[in-house]
Structure 1
Amino acid sequence: MGKSQKKRLMRRHNPMRVPDSHLPKGLESAAESSAKKEAIPPIMQKMESPDSSERKWACVAASNLIQNDPSTRRLLQGKNVVGSLITRLSDSEEEVWIEAAGALRNLGIDGGYDICAEMYNKNILAPLKAFVPKISSALSHFINSPKSLPENARRVVYEFAENVITIFWCLSETSNKALNAINAMDLVPFLMSFLGARDQLPTATVTAAAQSLYVLTDDNWPAIDAVRSNVAYTSCLLDIVRMNEQSNEASDDRFVMLYVLCCGILGNISPLPPPSTASYLDVSKDIIFPRLQPVISSISLDVAVQQVQELVAHQAKEPPEIDKLSLKHVPKSDHKSPTELEFEKVENRLRTVQLALEILTGAYATLPDPVTGAEPDEDDGEAVKGGDGDMADVTMDDAMDLDRSSRPVTGNLHASLSLPALVRPLLALIQPTALSFPPPSAPSCHPPTTSALSAIHVSAFECLNNVFLSLAAHPHSELYADDSTGQTIWSEIWTSLSKIGVDIATGQEQKRAIWEVAVGVLWGVGKIWKGKLVPTEEHVRILMSVCGASTDSPIQVKCIGALECLAQHPSSIDANRVISSYLLDMLPTSTSPSPRGIEPLIQAVSALIDIYSDERLPYDVNFREGRFEERLAQGVEGIRKAVRAINRKSETDLRLRGEEVRDNLTAFIKYRKELLF
């Protein structure tokens, strides 16, 4: 059973801020759903105009059309707006390349990986690289001579720096090629200079630098080493994290994002290196857990949704921004109405919570396992993949860790001694809202909010997965004895899942991401309170359905694990019979192989041994009356063949696990047959 972790190349759960998966494929369908398609030809025409004012207008107009409008974004992309805007980054007029950078920033954030890949392939890094020393020089001049330029001129530079840095962030998440190219630019000193001068710069610009640095230090050793090698950098990050939370700055939503990002960067580079005086800190225990729990507890999703719905109603009374566009009236590409600024505040709060959840998930993923002396495999961090983001890969070696819970426990146990305080806010964050999963027939009234909400639900489930996996790996008798807590948690998880439903329509791909993580959460809870959770017919049916519908072995393993735990409720004899029959159907026979893959097969065999290891339990009547020992015996040879087929070199852990289960099965059958005499 695997811990959910950030996937190295796709960290954001929804790489599109404004998803377009609900739209039919093709430019023709995008044209049919776009209300602004008539504005596109003049924009693309003026992008190449000899008149700089027209080129600037085109960049601003493209930037405004991109936001919150996936169909129009598709049409612009089909007209090579990316290539045209990258060309404008080398424009002879400063105002033009400033506006082009703003439009490309919006494309990168709203459009996701495909557009970012297109930017990289069209060599956007060449002009961006040239901007870095210019921005550094300008900022150094402003800081040393703050009155040398008027505030509005400095603001233009700050906003331009923010746009360029944000593009670096988006590109860093695109591919290994883009990440390696950015590593070669050695951006860490450039980015850290913004954090070091945070008192003299706008919070938004500093936060963009922190966001880019957070992504660059995520499983990326060139950047990690660059930060760790400079004591001043770690001291700067700690100073931000340790700022008095009661200060005026700390109450600003943008500062909270900066604060959370710095916690994440410290987590990425931990352990902190000597000779820093903070090298003794346990970053997870001393920084991440105590400081991020209040962040995820600070928001009510239902209140946020209500605010958005009220803003949508208010915005409907305002004239569309496109109607204001003319060569005589050119709003800045970053211009936002008061309503749009309120939308942005709500979205920023939601994204901050999502980020905090992601960092907490990673912290729990690195808590010590009960296995000592083993070096982590480089690919162990490739877990959670969902929606466009991320789901836990479960290996049989992970599954064995849960079954070895009787071994001596070592390492940091602060998360396993009792139910962590963050479980309660996590359970609140998995509950869907009215805007979380709108049906295709009634699209979201504000897609960015829907994107953020669904990402929060996925992230909260991932964090719960790691919390309960850590607890299950380090059993605690007091927690196991607390039946009411286990039943409450189990019920709240199923309440969320029942609202989400198993019907997944186009545009609702995050539902699938949730289910694939949630079955792991159910398994973890089931392991902790094994034998205490009363199985219902509906829950058993759904777990079987998810297992049967999935072609992914790790998901099937988690479903089987959850079913195994439910089957061990002593008095639920009927549920035990249904589950055991389901597991027995996965076994091979003398004439046919298993209908499942090798990992689910091994897990099913292990589950059956575990369920019927105590013949004194009431439900053992099913084993005796159903003559299960005969069915198990019929599958022994098929299981042996399946285990022998596992590659000993490339799948060492799975092979060892299979051999262990095979031997256990042989001994178990012998033991059960001896009971008959």
Structure 2
Amino acid sequence: MGKSQKKRQMRRHNPVRVPDSHLPKGLEAASSSSSRKEAILPILQKMESVDPAERKWACVAVSNLIQNDPSTRRLLQGKNAVGALINRLSDSEEEVVVEAAGSLRNLCIDGGFDICAEMYNKNILTPLKSFIPKISTTLSEYLENPKTAPENAQKLVYEFADNVITILWCLSETSNKAMNAINQISLVPFLMSFLASRERLPISTVTSAAQCLYVLTDENPPAIEEVRSNAPYSACVLSIVQSREGLPQANGKNKEVADNRGLALQVLCCGILRNVSPIPPPSVAATVDVDRDIVMPTLEPVLSLISLVEASQHAQEHIAKEDAIPALEKLSLKHTPKSDHKTPSGLELERLEHKLRTVQLALEILTGVCATLPEPDFDVQDADGEATDADGDEAHEDEDMDDEPEVDMAPDNEAAVKQQSGSNATIFQTLVAPLLTLIQPTPLSFPPLNGPSPHPPTTSALSAIHVSALECLNNIFLSFRGAKIDAPRADPDSGRRIWDSVWQALGAVGTDIDNPGQERRRATWEIGVGVLWGVAEAHVKVLMQLCDAATDEGVKVKCIGTLECLAQHPGSVDANRVCTYFSQRVPEPLLQAVSALIDIYSDETLPYDTNFRQGRFLDALVGSVEGVRKAVRGIDRKKERELRVRGEEVRDNLVAFIEYRRSLGV
């Protein structure tokens, strides 16, 4: 099981916020499941009206109708609402353009990749590109002379900028083709202007700019290089984090501060700094250790920002009060609501979701921190004594190094190992406990097996947190193994708590993972099994010690049987080294040990087979044959008939296995 690496398609801030995978495919199915299908045609007709008030009303109506309603969203998509809204971005009336951008933004956030891909294919970038210089010019004018425009006009521009930036951020995560096209726009200076002027701009717009920059600098060399090569850019991002304003304290105080976007902005800036590291001089950011001095101190407290159980309870209370979508009759032309209209309970649900997304974002960044810790590095030999790496490839040294004098590096290496050990031990102490809390499902974490969630955005955020927390745990335990740190073994109680917590979480998730709409349950299991494997490896030595200390033969057999299961994991050459222990146990307890060795090394093509050759297991098995025969003959046929039959089977299998391995010539 490898580390959970950063992948753009897995890193959506709102990963399909309102999923529709539980719905049957096809336009007819969407029509039959939508309660608002009769409203679709009038809306689309009004979007082409000669009356600008009707066009504005239609854009607003789309935004209201799709709210938490995947079937209506799919139906609108099938009727080309996306294309109609893109056309309205070129409308002659400014307010129509603003409302169209707002509806397209909501479609991006709620609908995910499919809708974003459709927007890209329908050439949404052409009008968006034309907006960038206009927004920049207006922004500069307002910042230089705030009194040049009334407050409501400024608010309109800032909201419009927020919508445009959010659409660009979502498109950036759609495909490499879309990312390459957006790279041609040169967005970095535009986005940085919002961060640089953050004290005079709405925090929501600044946060959207940071989110877009975070995505653009994710393994995207053009944007990374642009930030790196402009020292003021990285210095600005660093200053936002170092301000420490709005961060929750380690003791749990100031949690309510996450109601605004200040904390999310700082978390995003941590991610941006990681994306562009290492940062070269002369930037002041080049003088800090980003992970140690910036990321870890900022993000660790965020993991305890909110109780998921309490969040689920509060969400259920507000869901019970919420009439999320206004009736279409209320959307009169005389009283046109804004596209961001929310009821009080709707606003509370939105604030709650924002807190959850901030935690998820912190987990996403921390997963990257743990993924960059040293990978396992094995120095093993093949059957011919040649040095090989973990994949079995021969290690070749530069011939020019043959005459180099030998240098004793032991003291430096020892210090480095000790420093790395301390670092990993700190991660174990500070991260594992809150992560184990965050993997525990709540009643709203996954949709019911027979239908959609009562509030898809909350469910999406909660399940994303569970998956991200498990990914972080997975990387932590793999990093322990690579750095030869056995934290769970040093504290057996903690190891047991980890094991129990993960199993408790997976048990609550359930095994109905293949039904439509249950993709997050499946993802939770896939990552959770990897975590269990990492924890299990930490128990290998404990099992061997137990086997040595036990006097009961049944206990010994169970220990070796458990070790056999662990040793057969094809992705872990290191854990397979436990088989050296098996060869030393022959002939006590005989049958289980011999049977385990035969089963484990029956396929010579597996990566860990190099341990069989290096450990000279074949010689050990040849030397054990006579002992096995004597032990089998010593089993009473009358008193222990089943054991005698099994012993004879193991004996015959052993002889056949030895002949097979000899015939391979390896």
TM class by shorter-chain length?
0.7 to 0.9
Of 520-529 and 16-25, more deviation after overlay is shown by 520-529
What residue in structure 2 maps to residue 340 of structure 1?
346
CA distance in 1, matches of 2:222, 2:347: 37
Alpha-carbon distance in 2 for matches of 1:200, 1:106:
26
Tell me the C-alpha RMSD between the 2 structures.
3.1
2:314 is matched with which residue? 307
Residue of structure 1 equivalent to 2:385: none
Residue number in structure 2 paired with 1:107:
107
The one-letter code of the counterpart of 1:482 is D
1:663 alignment partner in structure 2:
613
Distance change in 2, residues 1:606/1:303 (3 Å)? closer
1:219 aligned counterpart, secondary structure: coil
Is the partner of 1:434 in helix, strand or coil? coil
- More contact order relative to length (CA 8 Å, sep ≥ 6): 1
- 1:668, CA displacement in angstroms? 1.1
1:135-284 matches, within 5 Å, as 135-245=135-245, 252-284=259-291
Mark the CA change 1:214 to 1:321 in structure 2 (over 3 Å): closer, same or farther. farther
SS of residue in 2 equivalent to 1:116: helix
Q: Is residue 574 from structure 1 mapped to residue 554 from structure 2 by the alignment?
A: no
Aligned residues: 580
Q: Tell me, which stretches of 5 or more residues in structure 2 are unaligned?
A: 248-253, 380-388, 395-412, 545-552, 627-666
1:369, distance to aligned residue in structure 2 (A): 3.1
Which whole-Å CA distance do the structure 2 matches of 1:264 and 1:65 have between them?
34
> Which has the larger displacement, 340-349 or 244-253?
244-253
- Corresponding residue number in structure 1 for 2:663: none
Q: Does the CA contact (< 8 Å) of 1:612 and 1:620 recur in 2?
A: no
Alignment of 1:118-137 (within 5 A): 118-137=118-137
356, 372, 381: which one pairs with 1:350?
356
**Structure 2 residue identity aligned to 1:336:** K
Aligned to 2:73: 73
Label 1:280 to 1:527 Cα distance change in 2 as closer, same or farther (>3 A).
Answer: farther
Which residue pairs with 1:482 in the alignment? 491
* Equivalent residue letter for 1:610: V
Secondary structure at 1:415 match in 2: helix
1:44–1:607 distance in 2 versus 1, CA, 3 Å: same
In the other structure, the counterpart of 2:331 is 325
Structure 1 residues 399, 76: closer, same or farther in 2, change over 3 A? farther
Structure 2 vs 1, CA of residues 179 and 629 (structure 1 numbering), >3 Å: closer, same or farther? Answer: closer
Distance in 1 between the 2:525 and 2:574 partners?
A: 23
Whether contact under 8 Å (1:573, 1:619) holds in the other structure is no
Give me the whole-angstrom Cα distance separating, in 1, the residues matched to 2:561 and 2:178. Answer: 54
Amino-acid identity (%): 56
Give me the TM-score of the superposition, normalised by structure 2. Answer: 0.81
Give the unaligned 5+ runs of structure 1.
Answer: 374-394, 401-406, 535-568, 585-599, 644-656
Tell me, yes or no, if the aligned pair for 1:18 and 1:69 is still in contact at 8 Å: yes
Residues of 2 paired with 1:322 and 1:154: CA distance?
A: 30
State TM-score, norm by structure 1.
Answer: 0.80
Counterparts of 2:534 and 2:246, CA distance in 1: 37
Query: Is the alpha carbon distance of 1:662 and 1:338 closer, same or farther for their aligned partners in structure 2, counting shifts above 3 Å?
Result: same
**Residue number in structure 2 paired with 1:416:** 424
Decide whether aligned partners of structure 1 residues 285 and 51 sit closer, same or farther in structure 2, where only a CA change above 3 A counts.
same
Change (3 A) 1:488 1:48: same
Contact 1:570 1:619 survives alignment (8 Å):
no
Q: Pick the structure with greater CA Rg.
A: 2
Q: Distance in 1 between matches of 2:358 and 2:593?
A: 56
Instruction: Give distance in 1, aligned partners of 2:207 and 2:533.
Output: 38
Q: Secondary structure at the match of 1:336?
A: coil
**1:164 Cα deviation (Å)?**
0.1
2: CA distance, partners of 1:398 / 1:195? 49
**How far did 1:445 drift?**
1.3
Q: Secondary structure at the match of 2:367?
A: helix
Cα distance in 1, alignment partners of residues 543 and 503 from structure 2: 12
Seen in structure 2, the aligned counterparts of structure 1 residues 415 and 515 have a Cα distance that, compared at 3 Å, is: farther
How far does residue 608 in structure 1 lie from its aligned partner after superposition?
5.9
Note if 1:428 corresponds to 2:437.
Answer: yes
Contact 1:570–1:617 (Cα < 8 Å) also in 2: no
How far apart are 1:3 and its partner, in Å? 1.1
Greater mean deviation of Cα atoms: 118-127 or 472-481: 472-481
Q: Comparing 6-15 with 465-474, which one deviates more in the overlay?
A: 6-15
Relative to 1, partners in 2 of residues 1:399 and 1:514: Cα closer, same or farther, differing over 3 Å? farther
Q: 1:264 Cα shift?
A: 0.6
Q: Aligned partners of 1:272, 1:398: CA distance in 2, in Å? A: 36
Relative to structure 1, the CA distance from residue 664 to residue 257 in structure 2 (aligned partners, 3 Å threshold; closer, same or farther) is same
How much does 1:396 deviate? Answer: 6.9
| Alignment partner of 2:535 out of 522, 525, 539 | 525
User: How far apart in 2 are the matches of 1:414 and 1:145?
Assistant: 54
Cα shift at 1:21: 1.0
Q: Give 1:574's aligned amino acid.
A: K
